Structure 1
Amino acid sequence: MTENELSYKIIGSAIEVHRNLGVGLLENAYEIALAYELKQQGMNVRQQISLSLKYKEITIDNAYKIDLIVENKVIIEVKAVLELNPVFYAQVLTYLKLTDIKLGLLINFNSELIKYGIHRIVNKLINE
C-alpha cells in the first residue's frame, strides 16, 4: 500500500475510535484503540518505539518515542489536547526526518469533530 492508501485507512480507523470513545480520555486510550483498529485490518503496527539519536560522537538512548508506526511508512502522533501547539507539528516532522519516513499524521482526539483534529505532515526531504 502507498502512504496515501494507508493514510485513508488510518483516518477511517481514527474516525471509528473517535465515534466510539468520544473526547476526554488520555492519549494512551486513543493510541491503544487506534492500534487495535489498524491491527484488525491486518496492518503491521508498532507502538511506543523508543529510538536513539546520534549527536556528534555520542549516542543518546531513548532520545524520542514515536506513538505508532504503520507498515513502516506512516508515523502517527496521538494527542488529546485542547489545541495543537506548533511544536507538535515540528515534533512529527523531526520524527519523519530522523526515520526517513515520508508521511506523518498528527491526530488530536480531543476535537469535537475528528476531521478537524487530523493533520498530514510530509517529509519533503524524501524523494519519490
Structure 2
Amino acid sequence: MIYRSKESYNITGAAMHVYNVLGSGFLEAVYQEALAIEFAKRGIPFEREKELKVFYDGHELKQTYRADFVCYGDIIIELKAVSELNDSHRSQVYNYLKATGSKLGILYNFGHSGGLEYERKVF
C-alpha cells in the first residue's frame, strides 16, 4: 500500500487541473496562487508558505525553511516552474522531510512543456 495514497491522489488531481488550465510558461508564484484556489475548491486542507522549523541535536535552529504548501497537516508540497527537475530540487524536498520529520513530500514541476511532472518522496 502506498503511504497516504488517497491524499496524494487528491493533491495531484488538483495540480493536474491547474496545469491543464494554465499550461506551462508562468512563474512559480502563479501556479502557487492557482493551486491554493484549487485546493480550497476541492476541500483539501492546506497551509501556504508554511514555515518549517529545523532541529539539530535537540535544538531548534534560527534558520527555517518555507514550504510552498503543507497539506493534510503533514504532506509537504514543493512547486517548481523549470524546464526539468534536477537533483537539487529533489534534495530540497528530502531536506524538508528530514528536518521536519514529515514522511511524505511531493515535488511538482509546472514548467515542463510535455505535461505536469511530479515525484513522491517518502522519508
TM-score normalised over the length of structure 2: 0.87
- How many residue pairs end up in the alignment? 121
Secondary structure, aligned partner of 1:92: helix
Q: Is the 8 A contact 1:17 1:30 kept in 2?
A: yes
- Residues 97 and 57 of structure 1: CA distance in aligned 2, closer, same or farther (over 3 Å): closer
Match of 1:120 in 2: 120
Runs of 4 or more above 6 Å deviation: none
Please show how residues 31-110 of structure 1 align to structure 2 within 5 Å.
31-55=32-56, 59-110=60-111
1:14 is displaced (CA, Å) by 0.9
Q: Is the 8 A contact 1:93 1:104 kept in 2?
A: yes
Return the alpha-carbon distance in structure 2 between the equivalents of residues 51 and 70 of structure 1. 13
Return the alpha-carbon distance in structure 1 between the equivalents of residues 119 and 59 of structure 2. 34
Q: Is 2:24 aligned against 1:23?
A: yes
Identity in percent? 36
Secondary structure, aligned partner of 1:114: coil
Match of 1:3 in 2: 4
> What letter corresponds to residue 13 of structure 1 in structure 2?
A
- Residues 57 and 71 of structure 1: CA distance in aligned 2, closer, same or farther (over 3 Å): closer
Secondary structure, aligned partner of 1:49: strand
> What letter corresponds to residue 26 of structure 2 in structure 1?
L
1:8 is displaced (CA, Å) by 0.5
**Gaps spanning 5+ residues in structure 1: where?**
124-128
Superposition RMSD on alpha carbons, in Å?
A: 1.9
1:88 is displaced (CA, Å) by 1.0
- Residues 73 and 32 of structure 1: CA distance in aligned 2, closer, same or farther (over 3 Å): same
1:56 is displaced (CA, Å) by 5.7
Return the alpha-carbon distance in structure 1 between the equivalents of residues 58 and 74 of structure 2. 29
1:60 is displaced (CA, Å) by 3.5
> What letter corresponds to residue 13 of structure 2 in structure 1?
G
1:47 is displaced (CA, Å) by 0.7
1:109 is displaced (CA, Å) by 0.2
**Gaps spanning 5+ residues in structure 2: where?**
none
CA offsets 1:45-72 (integer angstroms, 9 cap, x no match): 1011123323468643342111100011
